[in-house]
């Protein structure tokens, strides 16, 4: 239990560093923009806490939370399709298939070891948080201007670097040597990025800003948890590959 609280304190340090970044990002913005940014940041803190403690108390609780995320995610995809007047049917069915595969992998991930789940979750949170902070502080070159105009090369690079290096801080959770921890973190970051890109493409196709208003400031469950679903699926895939290599 002591190690859990030490890990939690480290998370708080990361969050405070992100808070400092948010302060510098927003100090020259108009009041409404500042309010929305702080609202998003504070709600993100509570979401991280809910997921963190659902993992460390008992992973089966996290599995129930994951099932809820998947169910609401499906409903948000279908909702946008219906609201569009059933446009882009082939694109919708393809998206539904991709989401089904990722959701299946994510659900498998929730049944893996507690240490691996927690490690992956922490890396994901750091990647998400610091991609936003470094992107807004340093971002100049747009990554996918047509699909996701707010994403920058600098944001992706900064978030990836901080997240992957953080694997060395949290590697004792797995436990694993530095090499395995870095590889696992890289897989989480890669799949999380893909999940976010696919989500942005879906919204762009249906010309909407948010999936829903369920989570204030976060644009719905898929906007908030797309990276978690894809990142978890990536770790589940990595586990299967390592298992096959080990048995071979």
Render pLDDT for 68-101 as a digit per residue (tens, 0 to 9).
Answer: 999 999 999 999 999 999 999 999 999 999 999 9
Angle of helix 221-247 relative to helix 178-205, nearest 10 degrees? 140
The packing angle between helices 221-247 and 59-83, to 10°, is 120
Helix (H, G, I), strand (E, B) or coil at 131: helix
Q: Convert the pLDDT of each residue in 19-32 to its tens digit.
A: 998 898 888 888 88
The Cα 174–Cα 209 span in angstroms is: 37
- Structure tokens, 75: 């409903």
pTM here is 0.93
Angle, helices 178-205 vs 59-83, to 10°: value is: 20
Cis peptide before 175 (omega within 30 of 0): yes
């Amino acid at each position: 239990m002591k190690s859990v609280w030490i890990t939690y304190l480290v998370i708080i340090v990361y969050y405070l560093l992100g808070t400092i970044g948010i302060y510098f990002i927003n100090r020259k913005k108009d009041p409404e923009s500042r309010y929305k940014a702080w609202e998003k940041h504070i709600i993100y803190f509570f979401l991280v806490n809910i997921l963190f403690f659902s993992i460390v108390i008992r992973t089966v609780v996290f599995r129930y939370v994951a099932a809820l995320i998947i169910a609401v995610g499906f409903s948000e995809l279908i909702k946008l399709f219906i609201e569009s007047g059933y446009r882009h049917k082939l694109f919708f069915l393809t998206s539904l298939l991709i989401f089904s595969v990722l959701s299946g992998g994510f659900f498998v991930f929730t049944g893996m070891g507690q240490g691996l789940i927690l490690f992956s979750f922490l890396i994901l949170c750091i990647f998400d948080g610091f991609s936003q902070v470094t992107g807004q502080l340093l971002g100049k070159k747009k990554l996918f201007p047509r699909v996701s105009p707010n994403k920058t090369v600098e944001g992706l690079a900064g978030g990836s670097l901080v997240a992957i290096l953080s694997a060395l801080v949290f590697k004792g959770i797995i436990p694993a040597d530095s090499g395995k921890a870095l590889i696992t973190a890289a897989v989480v970051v890669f799949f999380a990025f893909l999940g976010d890109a696919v989500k942005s493409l879906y919204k762009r196709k249906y010309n909407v800003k948010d999936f829903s208003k369920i989570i204030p400031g976060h644009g719905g469950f898929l906007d908030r948890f797309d990276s978690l679903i894809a990142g978890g699926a990536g770790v589940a895939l990595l586990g299967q590959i390592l298992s096959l290599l080990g048995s071979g």
